[in-house]
Each structure stands twice: as C-alpha cells, then as structure tokens.
Amino acid sequence: MGTGASSADADTTGGVEFWRSPERSGCLTKQGEYIKTWRRRWFVLKQGRLFWFKDSVVTRASVPRGVIPVATCLTVKGAEDTLNRQFAFELSTPTETMYFIADSEKEKEEWINSIGRSIVQHSCSVTDAEVVDYDSGRPAASVAAGDE
C-alpha cells in the first residue's frame, strides 16, 4: 500500500492504485445521494471499482469521495426518459440507483460500455474452487472430481 495510507483507505480502495493507468476516467455530473443536487466529479474506473473525486488531479494521496464495487451493480443503462435530461444514465445496485450525466451521447455510451464490461468481468470472477459444496464443506470442484 502507498505511503501514508491507512488500513481504512485500503479497505475503501481495495488496494487499487486508482491514480495509475485507469481503464476509463473523465468528468461526469452525479446526483447526490442524500441531497439530490447535481455536482461535477472526476470518475476513475479501474479493477472493478468506480471511484469519484472532487477534481481531476488524482494522485496517490487523493481520497475518493466515493467508490462503487461494480460487482455489486445489476444494471447500467441510459436514463434520459427517467430524468428528462440529455446524456443521462443510471447505475443500479440491489440497494440504490445512482444517476449520472455525461457531456455528450458518445461519452454516455462509452461510460455505459466500460462499466458494463467491468460488471461482466468482475461478477463472473467466482471460480469453481471458491464454490463450496455445503454437504461436505469442501470446494465443489474437488467433490465433482470424485475426491470424496
């Protein structure tokens, strides 16, 4: 972990070096979680996490304003009709729906595609070895291979 970072930071960021080589980054307008105002934030998508920051200068010392593990996301799709705003899209988890506005149709589509790809990559990352057979308490792969 980086110099000066606390373990709480590591828990939040999942150890992801968000300041280095993001899969996608850029400015989006995000609706606040509690106070439903719209604010411009800098977003970074990397290693299955969508981080946001107050400004675009992101360094090792930057503290994200928020982070969403994309594996918890169910859908990412256009939301112009829902919000009645051009270039809007939404990201849904089991507990909430977040709304964003891009600066153009092209940017909106690029964000939807990038986040969608990341959702697929990170939600399908459970390997057979991680699936436990509850009857034996052992990994399902070894049960299937006849290790009983």
pLDDT digits (tens, 9 = 90+) for 33-84: 888 899 999 999 999 999 999 999 999 999 999 999 999 999 999 999 999 9
Note the pLDDT tens digit of each residue in 86-129. 999 999 999 999 999 999 999 999 999 999 999 999 876 544 44
Greater confidence (55 vs 144) lies with 55
Report DSSP state, residue 70.
G
Of 11 and 61, the structure prediction assigns the larger pLDDT to 61
Strands (E), 32-110: 38-46, 49-53, 66-69, 75-78, 88-92, 97-101
Please name each of the domains of the chain with its CATH number. Answer: 7-144 (2.30.29.30)
| DSSP string of 93-128, one letter each residue | -SS-EEEEE-SSHHHHHHHHHHHHHHHHHHHT---G
Binned at pLDDT 50, 70 and 90, residue 136 comes out as low
Banded model confidence at residue 137, pLDDT cuts 50, 70, 90: low
Per the CB < 8 A criterion, the answer to whether 50 and 38 are in contact is: no
